[in-house]
Amino acid sequence: MGKEYDVIKVTPQVRTADTGGVEKYYRVQYKTRGGVVDSVDVAEDDYTEEKLPSILLKLATKHDKLLKL
């Protein structure tokens, strides 16, 4: 099985948190093997080498399944 997705762009973002203060996150734009281009906001805590690939793999698989319908 080949690569399910390619990361196109990662943009660091900051927004106001619900509890006050600021919240840092990353907007990750990716393209699935089926050609779907999407983006997902990933919390700073989840933006690690261990967690990010599983998040993107789950989303890419979901998009490509929907594309086949």
pLDDT by residue (tens digit) across 18-36? 888 999 999 999 999 999 9
pTM of the shown model: 0.87
β-bridge mates for residue 44, sequence order: none
pLDDT mean over 29-50: 95
């989840």: which residue's tokens? 46
- Tell me the average pLDDT of the chain: 93
């080949």: which residue's tokens? 2
- Is residue 14 a contact partner of residue 35, using CB atoms and an 8 Å limit? no
Residue 20 is given by DSSP the state S
Amino acid present at 2: G
